[in-house]
Amino acid sequence: MPKILKSAIAAAVLTAGLWCASVTPSYAKPEYAKTEGKTCTFCHVTAGKPDLNQAGDYYAAHDHSLKGYAPAK
């Protein structure tokens, strides 16, 4: 096998490995946080996790809008 092909395969494997290691699962969409001007944890129990708190449940049930949402006291 030509040396250039071996180098290209090694580089591709290394790149794919680094990419896989850097990617984290995403359950929320960053544009929702930007649109609402809130942090991820405003609607999620823990950032990066799918579990929603009261605000997140409201947001999901009201067509991705916090309009009219009032936090429980």
Q: pLDDT tens digits, the chain, 73 residues: what are they? A: 688 888 888 888 878 776 666 555 545 577 888 888 888 889 999 887 888 999 999 999 999 899 999 988 7
The pLDDT of residue 57? 93
- Distance (Å, rounded) from C-alpha 56 to C-alpha 61? 9
d(CA 55, CA 57): 5
**Whole-prediction pTM:** 0.56
Q: E strand or H helix at 11, and its extent?
A: helix 3-22
